[in-house]
Amino acid sequence: MAYELSEEQEALRAQIQQMAVEKVAPRAAEIDREGDFPWDMQKLLAENELLGLSIPEEYGGSGASLLSNCIVAEELARACATTSLIFVVQKLAAYPIVLAGSEEIKQKYLPPLARGEVLAAFCLTERGAGSDAAATKTTAVETDDGYLLNGEKCFITNGSIADTFSTFTMTDIDRGVRGISAFVVEKEFPGFSVGPVEDKMGLRGAQVSEVKFEDCLVPKENMLGERGSGFITAMKTLDSSRPLVGAQAVGIAQGALDVAVGWAREREQFGSSIGKLQGIQFMLADMKTRVEAARQLVYRSATLCDNNDPELSLFSAMSKLFASDMAMSVTADAVQVLGGYGYMKDQPLERMMRDAKVTQIYEGTNQVQRVVVARRLLGKL
């Protein structure tokens, strides 16, 4: 399925690029150094109506395509991966509600998320259920008053600062993956709490923590979709979010390439610019080629998602896999182009390299993406 960026999408890219250069990039190093959540960036995204970009118009959002969302994630990540993640996680966590929530639940929870008044979190991973997400041990037991949730989720982005939590639990253990049910949980529900914020390699401004449910009472109407449909909701959500992680990776790599090209022009050794050295030229040429190849795959996978194409799971996995591996190697090569300067914290490249790493891990590691691709290639053996 072919795609072409519309005039609106090119204009959106130009708008985000300008905003990123003027307001996001100048904050990136400080956000990384301080490790606090950048509320000013959250406000900037909300004021520019970006936190509701993916939410349907009838619930206060813009209802933009996934391709448009990818362009925004990419341009933000080019300047600051943490800021891009604020945008990406709002979409990730709102999507189970969009996909499976009742009309009342959508009307209740989506408009404040679309306005960016509150943040959302996506709660799937547990200590014993990472790649094997179906092994979830968090339980939800039906009572007369609602469902009682018990368990702990870990590595939850926005865990300590979100108000709205799309949460995946086991309601019927004997039914395996068909026993998983999704709920929307509010931070004010009794029995809900959060653990300490994790100290991480990269994405230093993102607040990642445990969230805990101790006899946490959730109203029955907060179940998203049918009882037992939670795993399908989670997988569909990840299918439509992995292209955004791919876009984030493309943006980080493009940001690193921008710095490396500028440096190769200016830096002189042996009496002339290092950009005249064929060894440097070839590195830059390979980096550019790989960034562009990943971008095309990400845009294609987003287009397939937008058209509900049967190939979307495959392409979504391939785009996240290829783009994140590319971002890891392009950021490392960019450090190399700067030599010792690339290793120092007063240049942005070591931050970009640390930020790139997580795109190979979250929303399913790249080994898991390879499993998805191989299964499609080989079928049932």
Ligand X SMILES: Cc1cc2nc3c(=O)[nH]c(=O)nc-3n(C[C@H](O)[C@H](O)[C@H](O)COP(=O)(O)OP(=O)(O)OC[C@H]3O[C@@H](n4cnc5c(N)ncnc54)[C@H](O)[C@@H]3O)c2cc1C
Q: Shortest Cβ distance from residue 183 to ligand X (Å)?
A: 14
7 is catalytic: no
Q: Which is nearer to ligand X, 206 or 326 (CB)?
A: 206
- Of 239-247, 258-266, 287-295, 366-374, the segment contacting ligand X by CB under 6 A is 366-374
Q: Which is nearer to ligand X, 86 or 264 (CB)?
A: 86
Q: Which is nearer to ligand X, 185 or 257 (CB)?
A: 185
The b-or-e profile of 193-222 (16+ CB within 10 A means b, else e) is: ebeebbebebbbbbbbbbbbbeebbbeeeb
Q: How far is CA 66 from the centre of its chain?
A: 13
Single residue of 361, 373, 375, 376 touching ligand X by CB under 6 A? 361
**Which residue type sits at 14?**
A
Residues 263-292 that bind ligand X (CB under 6 A): none
Q: Shortest Cβ distance from residue 234 to ligand X (Å)?
A: 9
d(CA 376, CA 378): 6
User: Looking at the DSSP assignment, which residues form a beta bridge with residue 272?
Assistant: 269
Question: Which residue is closest to ligand X by CB?
Answer: 130
| DSSP assignments along 340-362, one per residue | HHHHSTTSSHHHHHHHHHHTTTT
- Of 5-13, 144-152, 189-197, 358-366, the segment contacting ligand X by CB under 6 A is 358-366
Q: Is 304 strand, coil or helix?
A: helix
Residues 108-167 that bind ligand X (CB under 6 A): 122-125, 130-131, 155-157
- Of 14-22, 107-115, 224-232, 361-369, the segment contacting ligand X by CB under 6 A is 361-369
The residue annotated as part of the active site, out of 152, 210, 350, 363, is: 363
* CB distance 318 to 373 below 8 Å: yes
Q: Binders of ligand X: how many residues, by CB under 6 A?
A: 21
Single residue of 17, 139, 307, 365 touching ligand X by CB under 6 A? 365
Q: Which is nearer to ligand X, 118 or 361 (CB)?
A: 361
Q: Does 207 bind ligand X (CB under 6 A)?
A: no
d(CA 237, CA 82): 21
Single residue of 95, 109, 165, 362 touching ligand X by CB under 6 A? 362
Classify strands 272-273 and 268-269 as parallel, antiparallel or unpaired. Answer: antiparallel
Single residue of 148, 293, 371, 373 touching ligand X by CB under 6 A? 371
Single residue of 114, 259, 318, 358 touching ligand X by CB under 6 A? 358
Q: Which is nearer to ligand X, 155 or 213 (CB)?
A: 155
Residues 185-204 that bind ligand X (CB under 6 A): 200, 203
Q: Which is nearer to ligand X, 19 or 92 (CB)?
A: 92
d(CA 302, CA 304): 5
Query: Secondary structure of 170-229 in the HEC alphabet?
Result: ECCHHHHHHHEEEEEEECCCCCEEEEEECCCCCCCCCCEEEEEEEEEEECHHHEECCCCC
* CB distance 248 to 325 below 8 Å: no
User: Greatest CA separation found in the chain?
Assistant: 80
Token readout for 121 is 């979190």
Centre a 10 Å sphere on the Cβ of residue 238 and count the other Cβ atoms it contains: 22
Binding positions for ligand X, rule: CB under 6 A: 122-125, 130-131, 155-157, 200, 203, 208, 358, 361-365, 367-368, 371
Annotated active-site positions, please? 363
